[in-house]
Chains A and B, each alone.
Chain A
Amino acid sequence: MWMLLMDSSTKISFNRCIRDGDLVIVYERHDTMKAVKACENSVLQNRFGVFKHSDWIGKPFGSKVFSNKGGFVYLLAPTPELWTLVLSHRTQILYIADISFVIMYLEVVPGCLVLESGTGSGSLTTSFARAVSPMGHVYTFDFHEQRAASAREDFERTGISTLVTVGVRDIQGDGFPDQFSGLADSVFLDLPQPWLAIPSARNMLKQDGTLCSFSPCIEQVQRSCETLRTDFTDIRTFEILLRTYEVREWKMDHSKADDGNSTACPPRKRRQPLSEASVGDNASSPAVMARPSAETRGHTGYLTFARKCVS
C-alpha cells in the first residue's frame, strides 16, 4: 500500500519484494488489469485459472506468476497511471492525457496546496497527490456523501491518505471553506456549472495562482470564460487527446506483381517502389510499421486555464 514513494522503505527497488498486505496490480493484458491486495491465504481466480497469493509473496514486483493451469499474469507495483485503469468508476473519470496536462499547466509542484471539486472517482486526485508529495496537500470535495466515503477508502488503500483530505460539500452552492482563503496554489473544478464556483475559487487562490475547469460541453466553457474575465488573466482553453499506435511487423511483398495476381498479402500496396529490393528478388523482407489504432476517444472535455490577477 504505497503507491507513492513516500519514504525509502516503501520504494520499489531490486530489494523490495511483494509482502503480505501489499496492493498489487494484476496485469493480464494492457487492457485487462485488476488491483488486488496480497494476502497470505487468498487466491485469485480468473480465466487463466487459480493463483495462490502465497506464491506471490517474496517475489519481486514485475514478476510473472503462474496459475494451477499454467496460465500467467504479471504483478506490478501500483502507480497513479495503473490506478486510473483499474479503479472502480463511480463517475466519468479523467484519463492520462488530460491529467498530465492539468498537473503541468497548473504548475503543481511538491509543497503546493491544491483544491479540487468534485472528487468523483479520485483518478485526478491521485495524480495531484503524487505531484504535491511530500509536503503539500490536496483538499478534495464532493457533495455526494457515499462517493466521498468510497474515495476516502481508495486513498487509504493506495496509501496516499496522508496527502489527501476528502470533504463532503456542495462547492457550487456553498463555495470552498473559508479556511483556505488566499492559501491555494491551484484550484481544479469539474462541475456541471463551474461558473457558480469561480468567485469562491478566486477567493481561495493566492495571487497569480492557477485555476482549471474541465467541462465536456462548449456552452459550459463559454459561460465559465465570461465569469473568469473579471478577476483572471491568461485565460486559455484547450482540448487534448492521445492517439495510440499499433505496431506490427509485415512481410512486404517485393515481387513485381504479376498483373491480376496481386490480391494476396494483407498490406495491399498496389505498387511497391522497386528501389527498396533488388530487382527480381522475390523474397519478402520484414518491416516494422505503425498505424493509428482504429478506435479512439474522440472527446473527453475542454480544459480552461486561468491565472488570478495580481492586484
Chain B
Amino acid sequence: MSENKPESGPTVNPRVTWEGCSVLLDINDGDRLVFARLSAGSTLKIGNKTFSLQPLIGCPFGSLFQVESGKEKPYLSRFIPPTEENNVQDEGGCQLQVESRDNRAIIDNNQAQSLTGDDIDAMRRQGATGNEIVEALIANSATFDKKTQFSQEKYRLKKQKKYAPRVLLRRPFSRSICEAYFKKYPARIGFLRVDALSLLLSMANVTANSDVLVLDMVGGLVTGAVAERLGGSGSVCNTYLGGTPYPMEIIRMFNFNNEICKRVLRCSVNYLCAVQNETTEQVSQHEDVCTMESQSDEKTSLSVSTEEVHLSSKNGVSDLVPENELSTTGKTCKAPKAGEKAPKEAIQSWKENGFSSLIIAAPEQDAWLLVKDLLPLLTYSAPFAIYHQYLQPLATCMHNLQLEKMAIGLQLSEPWLREYQVLPSRTHPCMQMSGSGGYILSGTRAYSNTSQS
C-alpha cells in the first residue's frame, strides 16, 4: 500500500517535512501563525531573536520545538512534552478536590515577583534554560501558592510562553490554512469560516474526477481546497470576470505536487460563455483573444509578484503573506505553479460535458448576476454552492432562481459553530466565538427544455 510509505513520493500526503516544503508554524499554542517554506537559509523571528528553520527539515509534522539557549545563540530544538505532566494533574482527581483558595489574598501592587529583569538576564548568560527561568519565577513569586490551581496553571503557561516559547510544526491543509487566515486576516478570505468552506465542498459534491467551476475572489482558498479534494484528478477551472485573473496566492501554501497543480486551470467567464454558445469553428477564431488574455495573465502575475516582495520578508518566512518565489534562494524553494491558462482541449471538454460542480465565493459581486451566466455551464443535475458574507444578495439570488426555474433543491443556510472548553468540573462553551461564518446558497441545476410539455 502506497500510504504506508509517506516518504516514498510526492503523491501521497507526506508526513515528514523536506527541504522546500511549505509549513504552518503555530507559535505558543495559536498565539501566532506563520507560513514558511523550509530551507537551509529560512529563519523565524520570535520576540527579538532570529531562529534558523534548518532543524525543522526532515521532522515529522506535528513535532513540537522549544527555544534552547545554545552556547553562541539560542536555537530551536525538538521537544517532547512529558506525558506525566498531564497524569499528575488528572491523578490527583482534581475534579473532586474542592478548591478552598480564592483571590482574597491577591493584591495587585506589582510586588509579588522578587526576580528582576537583570536577574533573569544574568540567568540567561549563565546558560539557564527557559524552563529553569520559569521555575525560578514561580519560586520567587510571593503569591503563587495563594493562587487557585487553575490560576497557577495559567501563570505557568504565561511565563512558559514568554521564556520558553514553543513552535508547533503543522501540515498546511485547507483546514489549517482557512483557520489561520480567518483568525488573522478574515477580510482577505471574505470572512469564510472553515465550517462554511467544508459545506461548500460537500454541497458542490467535490470529489476525484469532477470538473469544478470556481469563481474564487478569496485569494485562491476555495480553488486550493477543491484541488486538495481532487487529489490530482479531474479539473478545477478558476474563472474570472474581465481580462485579469483574480489573485490566488493562497494556493502556494498547500504542498501540492505537480500532478495536483496541473489540474488547476484558468479561463475567463467571457470566454467560457462565448464557447458555450458557439460551434467549434468559432471557438478557434477566439484563439487570438485567448492568447492575448494569456499575455495579460503573465503581466498580472508579475505585478502580483512584485507586490509580494514588499509584503514578505526576505528570508522565506512571512506571517500569512505568501513568500515570493523570487525572493527565496535555491531551486528547491520553488513551488510548482498552479493556475495555467486552460488549454483548448480542456475548454472543449467542459463545453461538451458541462462542469460537474460550481462554487462561487465572490464577496463583492452580485451573486445573481454571476449565477445567471455560470449556471448554464453546469451539466444538468449538477450541484452548486454560492458563498457570501451577507445574507441579502443570496436571498435575492435564490428568489430569482426560483422565478426562472433554473434550479431545484434550493437552500439558503448559515453554519453555526461553537467550541467548548472541556476540563474536569469546568466544561462550558468557550467565552468567545465567531458570530458568523457566512451564508451559503446551494441547489441543483434542473434540465430546462422549453419544448418539453
The chain A residues found within 8 Å of chain B, CB to CB, are 4-8, 11-16, 27, 30, 59-64, 74-77, 79-81, 96-97, 99-101, 103-105, 107, 109-113, 127, 130-131, 133-136, 183, 185, 206-208, 218, 221-222, 225-226, 229-231, 233, 235-245, 247-249, 288-290, 302, 304, 307-311
Contacts and interface: CB of A to CB of B under 8 A. Distances in A.
B353 A13 contact: yes
Nearest to A130: B207
Contacts of A75: 381
Interface in B363-415: 379-383, 391-392, 394-396, 398-399, 408-415
B171 interface: yes
B50 interface: no
B413 A243 contact: yes
Contact of A80 (B4, B205, B408): B205
Contacts of B60: 207-208, 310
B3 A61 contact: no
B78 to A, nearest CB: 9
B234 interface: yes
- Which 9 residue pairs across A and B have the least CB separation, nearest first? A110-B231, A208-B62, A62-B380, A13-B353, A62-B381, A61-B381, A104-B198, A62-B447, A100-B198
B12 interface: yes
How many interface residues does chain B have, given as a range? 35 or more
B83 A104 contact: no
Contacts of B173: 107, 109
B383 A240 contact: no
Q: Is the interface of A mostly helix, strand, loop or mixed?
A: mixed
A218 B354 CA distance: 46
A8 B350 CA distance: 13
Contacts of B100: none
Given A100-B201, A104-B197, A206 B15 contact: yes
Contacts of B134: none
Interface in B61-108: 61-64, 80-81, 83, 86-87, 90
B32 interface: no
A242 B356 CA distance: 25
Contact of A104 (B1, B201, B395, B427): B201
A80 B380 contact: no
B62 A14 contact: no
A245 to B, nearest CB: 4
A304 B383 contact: no
B321 interface: no
B135 interface: no
Given A109-B229, A183-B3, A4 B381 contact: no
A30 B411 contact: yes
B445 A62 contact: yes
A99 B202 contact: yes
Contact of A103 (B1, B198, B231, B412): B198
